[in-house]
Amino acid sequence: MVLDLLQDNKKEIILSGIIIIILLVIFYTLNFAVTKIAKKSGFNDARIRLVRRYIHVTLFFTGLISLAYIFGTDFKDLAVIFSSVFAVIGVGFVAVWSILSNITSGVIMFFNFPHKVGDKIKIHDSDFPIIGIIEDIAAFHLHLRLDNGDLVTYPNNLMLQRAVTLIKKDAIEDDAEAV
């Protein structure tokens, strides 16, 4: 019975193995690249884990779609399923578009943000100019410690829309040395 199942689906099983091997190679290559970029740029471990999680989810769904197609799911069926799912997700995300914007900005900031944790920056916001030390860069927002000790969370998408001036690199270390 099991042998018949394996014999009947030999081609699909081989293709599945090839897809899984390719996805694993891509997975490890991207993890290595993200780690190398992050260590070179001095990013903290929380940001590295966050970007890796995005990569894992993307590769998981890519593999799931590929395996469904290999095992005979018709492209029309996949298109109907995914268009329905994306329609529901799209309606849900219209109400929370800022979350997607902040997540996307967080990924962009991971790869291309000139400032890192410990830097003292000034955000040139016309409504609320801020000068503070970056304590954390999370998926949705930045944590800034003001001179008076207050903690401000600033959305990632606004960080990419506003001019930011670097006042002092690694201000946290300088403050610790002064104490």
Full pLDDT tens readout for the chain, 179 residues: 677 777 777 888 889 999 999 999 999 999 899 888 888 877 778 778 888 888 898 899 888 888 888 888 777 777 787 788 777 777 766 667 777 788 888 888 877 778 888 889 999 988 888 899 989 888 788 899 998 999 999 888 888 888 888 887 766 555 555 54
User: The whole model's pTM is what?
Assistant: 0.53
Which pLDDT score, from 0 to 100, does residue 179 have?
A: 46
The residue written with tokens 């291309």 in the block is: 112
Write the CA distances from 177 to 47, 112, 156, integer angstroms.
26, 29, 30
Handedness of CA 37, 41, 42, 47 (dihedral sign): negative
CA 151, CA 143: separation in Å to the nearest integer? 7
